[in-house]
Amino acid sequence: MRCDGDEHPRHSVTISRPFELMTTEVSVGMVRAAKQPVAEQPQWSTAPDQPVVVVTWDGARTFCEAIGGRLPTEAEWEYAARGGREGTRFPWGDQSPTYEPKGPTGAMFEGDAGRAVGSYAPNAFGLHHMSGNVWEWVADWFGPYEDEAVTDPRGPSAGEFRVVRGGSYGDDERNLRLSNRNPNRPGNSNVNVGFRCARDLAR
């Protein structure tokens, strides 16, 4: 399965600052509990345990800041999604995904609706749905990678598109790859795009 052009060049990335990431996507119930506004959701995503979607990049950022967090950088997201596995295609390894909810290669893809957060088995870092279910906003503007090794990259300083990662319930296996990245206009609010928040930790 070949990489897309925007996934090159392969380069070394160091994450020097400790952080933590939500174990699931932000759910409808989490947003309501924080007394933040929830846009009208698709029919499949009205229950409290469903991932919240139809959210712009700024809406995702605002929610994370309201609860004392932030959106993860693209590099942080991929580091966390890999769960300590370097060079694999998916959070669990190189095997193709299946629909089995608690199976070791389970992910929601090629379907017509997302699933409740935490429905599929976590990766080695305890994070659920890093592939499939809903795309996730990250902090960075979309742009090319650096050629050389980088530490704590944050992407371009400006741009037209932000980055979403992870693939969604409606995508095929190729879009679930951990190296896959997709540009999305920050003002878009899509039925297959959600987010999860990160938080800095004391050294």
Average the pLDDT over 31-41 and give the result: 94
pTM exceeding 0.85: yes
pLDDT digits (tens, 9 = 90+) for 69-126: 999 999 999 999 999 998 899 999 999 999 998 889 999 999 999 999 999 999 999 9
CB atoms within 10 A of CB 88: 15
Residue 67 has pLDDT above 90, yes or no: yes
What is the C-alpha separation between 65 and 85, in angstroms, rounded? 30
Here the tokens at position 108 are 């929601």
Q: Is 124 exposed, middle or buried (0-12, 13-18, 19+ CB in 10 A)?
A: exposed
Average pLDDT over residues 11-30: 91
* pLDDT tens profile 134-147: 999 999 999 988 77
List the structure tokens of 196: 């999860």
* Overall CATH class of domain 1-203: alpha beta
State residue 146's pLDDT score. Answer: 78
Mean pLDDT of 53-69: 97
Q: Where are the domains of the chain?
A: 1-203
